[in-house]
């Protein structure tokens, strides 16, 4: 290999999961020739390799070791302050035609984009190590599982990928040496972490991703949003399955009857928290278990939808996490966790806004500056994250490794809406549910750069993640419905409705069990409901509120359909569909008319 010296680093016996596939070897050779790394490190995902990489990262200040007694085997990473969230404006879907990417994606012509990226990558890894990360998405024995390779010049990426995916030999074995095998090619280089050169480019037709100029999770852990959702959704359409921005949870009654639900909420709108819900005392004997907290891949089996979680860990929002709000998350991140952009206390512990107990008298904030409770700045970045293995979760579902996945009884769509949208309602049928998902909206959050708190339409919570034309995506959902003989019921929820005082009306978190219970009752055909123009609504007595201190006025407000607000909402649905330039399927336009007609009755 031209100008690439044989690997003297890593030491013998560490990092050697070289594939038999000539296609992978050729690709690695091509990228190494272009980027000119000092050496190539084939990652095997072993414990020994991980220890070696952590030791190197500590030496280079990529990681800070946390107090071993307080948070065993855990570390803190501080990113560049200009690189703390996904960048939707620099994210591209490079299909052969603009039409292929559709009206909701930034499009860039593939030929020109490859040329531009090759220019940026030329010599980009000079003096650096090039890591090759083989990984699979999904349980090792699942038919839905897919292979990916990520090339990166960031140790932080490798350390995260080891937690977030199943890495190493397992991927090399699954791929084998079939030259036509399907696998994802991901190339990542930090370059100089300059926002001017930051771009995250997807080539669905080539099953390829190139990401440059960032070190932030969602931009660089190419397995996650880039492969499992953007490329994944494209593959899902051509192959007849679904790749969705959804948590998957199991809910078991005291009698042992179990249901699984999948729920799509936009970024930082409550997926991880819902997936780890602990039922309140009143629900004695009920158990909620986590299959996944961010992404669901779903296939049709026996006329039903079955879901797997393609990931192996959680990349979760830290601020607001406490023993009060989410004890399972707190236990999950108490050890073997990689923290990004939280505050460091003087005794080597981590701290963030919303953690239990009083704030520390002094800390180092996420930027590395001194911080005290009197400081105006936040100690932790609002999009600070934890990366933790799913096996740390005390509520992990026993069927998380099941190859066929878990059968889905209900699909839930939820956004962050201060008004208009009630706590919970049920769609009239599959197509109405697709309309509900397609028109959902949410206030923007710190998970992506840009304004926070702005209401925007975010169909199925996939606006930033659908790797092809959104009109075709809607049609794909409608088509899937036609193939299901036992479709899941579809619901809308909103944990974030506010009262006149600007406070949340609903306590949320564990109390969301009450809403989940109604959803399960509906699936069991035992739950009562009233028909409204937007679908089935629970009556006040259909939701079990025992043991909850919440006055009746709040519940009335939470379930209220304000016709004036909904008239505005219908106009916004129409504006949104119109803005898509004629790609919306006829069946959804029909749903829109029927909804308006129900309001007019």
- Active-site positions read 269
Closest residue to bound Mn ion by CB? 294
Q: Residues 101, 171, 447, 513: which binds ligand SPV (CB under 6 A)?
A: 447
**Shortest distance, position 180 Cβ to ligand GTP, whole Å:** 34
Query: Which of ligand GTP, Mn ion, ligand SPV, none does residue 270 bind to, with CB < 5 to 8 Å depending on kind?
Result: ligand GTP
User: Is residue 153 involved in binding ligand SPV (CB under 6 A)?
Assistant: no
Closer CB to ligand GTP, 54 or 307, in the complex:
307
Query: Which of Mn ion, ligand SPV, ligand GTP, none does residue 508 bind to, with CB < 5 to 8 Å depending on kind?
Result: ligand GTP
**Shortest distance, position 114 Cβ to ligand GTP, whole Å:** 30
Query: Which of ligand SPV, ligand GTP, Mn ion, none does residue 576 bind to, with CB < 5 to 8 Å depending on kind?
Result: none
Closer CB to Mn ion, 187 or 264, in the complex:
264
Q: Residues 283, 315, 474, 536: which binds ligand SPV (CB under 6 A)?
A: 315
Give the Cα separation of 586 and 588 in Å (integer).
Answer: 5
Closer CB to Mn ion, 44 or 294, in the complex:
294
Q: x-or-dash pattern for ligand SPV, window 255-294, by CB under 6 A? A: ------------x--------------------------x
Give the Cα separation of 99 and 489 in Å (integer).
Answer: 32
Size of the site for ligand GTP (CB under 6 A): 22
Closer CB to ligand SPV, 21 or 312, in the complex:
312
Secondary structure of 533-597 in HEC code, one letter for each residue: CCEEECCCCCCCCCCCCCCHHHHHHHHCCCHHHHHHHHHHHHHHHHHCCCCCCHHHHHHHHHHHH
Compute how many other C-beta atoms are within 10 angstroms of the C-beta atom of residue 37.
25
Give the Cα separation of 118 and 124 in Å (integer).
Answer: 10
Under 8 Å between Cβ of 78 and 371: no
Q: How far is CA 434 from CA 215, 427, 574, in A?
A: 35, 9, 15
**Shortest distance, position 224 Cβ to ligand SPV, whole Å:** 5
Closest to 270 measured CA to CA, from 434, 522, 104, 510: 510
User: Which range in 46-54, 101-109, 218-226, 273-281 contacts ligand SPV by CB under 6 A?
Assistant: 218-226
Closest to 452 measured CA to CA, from 85, 81, 79, 194: 85
**Shortest distance, position 306 Cβ to ligand GTP, whole Å:** 22
**Shortest distance, position 235 Cβ to ligand GTP, whole Å:** 21
Under 8 Å between Cβ of 313 and 163: yes
Question: What DSSP string describes 368-406?
Answer: S-EE-TT-SS-SS-TT-EEEEEGGG-TTB-TTTT-TT-E
Give the Cα separation of 107 and 105 in Å (integer).
Answer: 6
User: Is residue 509 involved in binding ligand SPV (CB under 6 A)?
Assistant: no
Closer CB to Mn ion, 271 or 355, in the complex:
271
Closer CB to Mn ion, 85 or 121, in the complex:
85
Q: Which residues 411-450 are close enough to bind ligand GTP by CB under 6 A?
A: 447
Going by their DSSP bridges, the two strands 424-426 and 489-493 should be labelled as antiparallel
Q: Which residues 86-115 are close enough to bind ligand SPV by CB under 6 A?
A: 86
Q: Which residues 263-292 are close enough to bind ligand GTP by CB under 6 A?
A: 265, 267-273
User: Which range in 41-49, 174-182, 217-225, 336-344 contacts ligand SPV by CB under 6 A?
Assistant: 217-225
Q: Which residues bind Mn ion (CB under 5 A)?
A: 267, 294
**Shortest distance, position 72 Cβ to Mn ion, whole Å:** 27
Q: Which residues 499-538 are close enough to bind ligand GTP by CB under 6 A?
A: 504, 508-509, 512
Residue carrying structure tokens 């500590």: 58
Closest to 104 measured CA to CA, from 438, 574, 413, 481: 438
Residue carrying structure tokens 């090619």: 185
Give the Cα separation of 199 and 325 in Å (integer).
Answer: 35
Q: Which residues 68-87 are close enough to bind ligand SPV by CB under 6 A?
A: 86
Q: Residues 155, 198, 224, 517: which binds ligand SPV (CB under 6 A)?
A: 224
**Shortest distance, position 295 Cβ to ligand SPV, whole Å:** 8
Residue carrying structure tokens 């949870």: 249
**Shortest distance, position 244 Cβ to ligand SPV, whole Å:** 12
CA angle 311–399–305, rounded 5-degree value: 80
Size of the site for ligand SPV (CB under 6 A): 9
User: Is residue 317 involved in binding ligand GTP (CB under 6 A)?
Assistant: yes
Give the Cα separation of 539 and 260 in Å (integer).
Answer: 24
3-state secondary structure of 254: coil
Length of the chain: 601
Cα dihedral 335→337→340→346 (10° resolution): 30
Closer CB to ligand SPV, 319 or 527, in the complex:
319
Secondary structure of 231-248 in HEC code, one letter for each residue: HHHHHHHHHCCEEECEEE
**Shortest distance, position 225 Cβ to Mn ion, whole Å:** 7
Residues at the site binding ligand GTP, with contacts judged by CB under 6 A? 265, 267-273, 293-294, 316-317, 319-320, 325, 447, 495-496, 504, 508-509, 512
Give the interface with ligand SPV as residue ranges (CB under 6 A). 86, 217-218, 224-225, 267, 294, 315, 447
């Amino acid at each position: 290999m031209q100008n690439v010296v044989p690997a003297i680093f890593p030491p013998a016996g560490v990092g050697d999961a070289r594939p038999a596939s000539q296609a992978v070897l050729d690709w690695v050779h091509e990228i190494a020739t272009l980027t000119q790394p000092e050496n190539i490190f084939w990652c095997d995902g072993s414990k020994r390799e991980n220890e070696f990489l952590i030791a190197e990262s500590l030496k280079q200040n990529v990681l800070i070791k946390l107090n071993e007694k307080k948070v065993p085997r855990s570390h803190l990473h501080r990113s560049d302050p200009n690189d703390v969230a996904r960048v939707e404006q620099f994210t591209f879907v490079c299909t052969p035609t603009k039409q292929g990417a559709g009206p909701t994606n930034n499009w860039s012509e593939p030929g020109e984009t490859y040329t531009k990226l090759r220019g940026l990558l030329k010599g980009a890894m000079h003096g650096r190590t090039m890591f090759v990360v083989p990984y699979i998405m999904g349980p090792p024995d699942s038919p839905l599982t897919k292979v990916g390779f990520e090339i990166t010049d960031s140790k932080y990426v490798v350390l995260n990928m080891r937690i977030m995916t199943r890495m190493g030999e397992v991927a090399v074995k699954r791929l084998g040496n079939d030259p036509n095998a399907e696998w994802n090619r991901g190339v990542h280089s930090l370059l100089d972490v300059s926002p001017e050169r930051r771009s995250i480019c997807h080539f669905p037709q080539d099953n390829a991703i190139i990401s440059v100029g960032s070190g932030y999770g969602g931009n660089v852990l190419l397995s996650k949003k880039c492969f499992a959702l953007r490329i994944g959704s494209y593959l899902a359409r051509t192959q007849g399955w679904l790749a969705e921005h959804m948590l998957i949870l199991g809910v078991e009654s005291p009698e042992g009857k179990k249901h699984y639900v999948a729920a799509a909420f936009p970024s930082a709108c409550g997926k991880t928290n819902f997936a780890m819900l602990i039922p309140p005392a009143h629900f004695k004997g009920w158990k909620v278990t986590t299959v996944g907290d961010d992404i669901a891949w779903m296939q049709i089996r026996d006329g039903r939808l079955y879901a797997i979680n393609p990931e192996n860990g959680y990349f979760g929002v830290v601020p607001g996490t406490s023993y009060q709000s989410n004890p399972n998350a707190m236990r999950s991140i108490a050890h073997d966790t990689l923290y990004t952009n939280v505050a460091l206390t003087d005794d080597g512990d981590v701290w963030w806004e919303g953690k239990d107990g009083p704030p520390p008298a002094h800390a180092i904030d996420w930027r590395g500056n001194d911080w005290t409770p009197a400081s105006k700045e936040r100690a932790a970045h609002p999009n600070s994250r934890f990366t933790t293995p799913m096996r740390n979760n005390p509520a992990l579902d026993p069927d998380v490794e099941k190859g066929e996945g878990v059968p889905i009884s209900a699909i839930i769509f939820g956004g962050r809406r201060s008004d208009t949208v009630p706590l919970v309602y049920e769609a009239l049928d599959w197509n109405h549910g697709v309309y509900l998902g397609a028109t959902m909206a949410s206030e923007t959050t710190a998970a992506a750069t840009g304004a926070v708190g702005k209401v925007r339409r975010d169909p199925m919570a996939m606006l930033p993640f659908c790797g092809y034309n959104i009109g075709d995506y809607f049609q794909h959902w409608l088509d899937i419905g036609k193939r299901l003989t036992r479709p899941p019921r579809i619901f809308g929820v909103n944990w974030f409705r506010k009262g006149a005082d600007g406070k949340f009306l609903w306590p949320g978190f564990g109390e969301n069990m009450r809403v989940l219970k109604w959803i399960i009752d509906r699936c069991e055909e035992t739950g009562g409901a009233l028909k409204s123009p937007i679908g089935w609504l629970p009556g006040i007595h259909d939701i079990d509120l025992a043991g909850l201190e919440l006055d009746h006025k709040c519940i009335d407000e939470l379930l209220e359909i304000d016709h004036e607000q909904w008239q505005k909402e219908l106009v916004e649905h129409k504006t949104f569909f119109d803005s898509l330039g004629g790609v919306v399927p006829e069946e959804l336009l029909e749903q829109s008319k029927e909804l308006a007609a129900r309001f007019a009755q």
